[in-house]
Amino acid sequence: MRDITHKQITLRSARATGIIFCSAETITTIKEDQLPKGNLFDVAKAAGFIGAKLTPQLLPHCHPVTIDGMDIRFEFLDQKLHSDHFPESVFSRSGIVIYGEAKSIGRTGIEMEMLTAVSVAALEIYDMLKPVDTALEIGHIKLLEKKGGKSDRKKFFATSPTCAVLVCSDSCAEGKREDRSGKLIQKMLEEAKAQVKYYKILPDNKDEIQQQIKMWVTEDIQFIFTTGGTGLGPRDNTVSAVREILERDADGITEAMRNFGQMRTPLAMMSRGVAGSIAHTLIVTLPGSSDGARESLEAILPAVFHARKMMKGGGH
């Protein structure tokens, strides 16, 4: 199974649908409640719920997810009601449309659970109708929509954000140690469709850090990510350097990073990172370790890019 420990815990949802085709006579029998096996839709809904809960046992690569809400409903196939979801050709036949939606707060999507629910509900209907209809057919099972995780990335920014990466390290500036965290940050930002316009290494010196950040703010670089100087060491000056020049705090960003990191290592509580804005530029201080920088970015990307719209007066 894929490692999903790096993913954020977010609200995720999915909608799916499908059709079980049957004869017009069978539709009449259902409406008159004359089926030999009794009530159709209550049993099919229960079967769909069970199918969703058992999805990880049926599909080997599916991670178990918490199903925080699910609904399944049934409608008789009608062109006026269902033309948005199915091709014109299906409306020459009669059948039952299965529609389901679900929500989950977790690290991975719930679309497979929803598709399984629709599929199992269709099979249950098939089983209950087979004594009265020999021409049953299941089809058009598909996902209508999924939200949460990667599928929501487009809403956080319309154009590629411009970024700068500032490595604050005495040893890297002196050439005694190779920078890894800054290069990792650059790679992750580019993978998130951001443009990294500047990458620079400076010693952990307050005046130099402040001067560089102010230059990038003047150029209207939208996001500045520093790495290093967030610990408790005597030369960890980055946090105080940045804090002094911030116009507005964005403590929620650092809370998200520390909370995400704390679930992976207790050492995350040692980070003194800060975040905030100057003019229309957001500055975020990241740890100097590559693991700490990676986990911190995993916690806030790509949602942090939405800050630009807010700083420009666009609201939430």
- Mean pLDDT by groups of 10 residues along the chain of 316 residues: 79 96 94 86 96 95 93 96 93 96 92 97 96 94 88 64 96 92 96 95 95 96 95 88 95 92 84 93 95 93 90 73
33 noted as active-site residue: no
- Per DSSP, 103 falls in state E
For residue 211 the two structure tokens come to 């001067």
Please report which helix (H) or strand (E) contains residue 101, including its range.
Answer: strand 94-106
| Within this chain, domains 10-149 and 157-311 share the same CATH topology | no
Phi-psi bin for 140: left (phi > 0), alpha (psi -120 to 50), beta?
Answer: left
157-311 CATH, one of 3.40.50.700, 3.55.30.10, 3.40.980.10, 3.30.420.40: 3.40.980.10
Other CB atoms within 10 Å distance of the CB of residue 313:
7
Residue 315, classed as helix, strand or coil, is coil
What class is the 10-149 domain? Answer: alpha beta
Q: Is residue 233 a contact partner of residue 271, using CB atoms and an 8 Å limit?
A: no
Residue ranges of domains in the chain:
10-149, 157-311
Omega cis (within 30) before 302: yes
Q: Is residue 99 a contact partner of residue 145, using CB atoms and an 8 Å limit?
A: no
Residue 196, classed as helix, strand or coil, is strand
pLDDT at 155: 58
Given 127, 133, 170, 291, the catalytic residue: 127
Other CB atoms within 10 Å distance of the CB of residue 14:
25
- Per DSSP, 5 falls in state T
Q: Is residue 100 a contact partner of residue 17, using CB atoms and an 8 Å limit?
A: yes
pLDDT at 315: 63
**pTM value > 0.85:** no
Q: Is residue 293 a contact partner of residue 253, using CB atoms and an 8 Å limit?
A: no
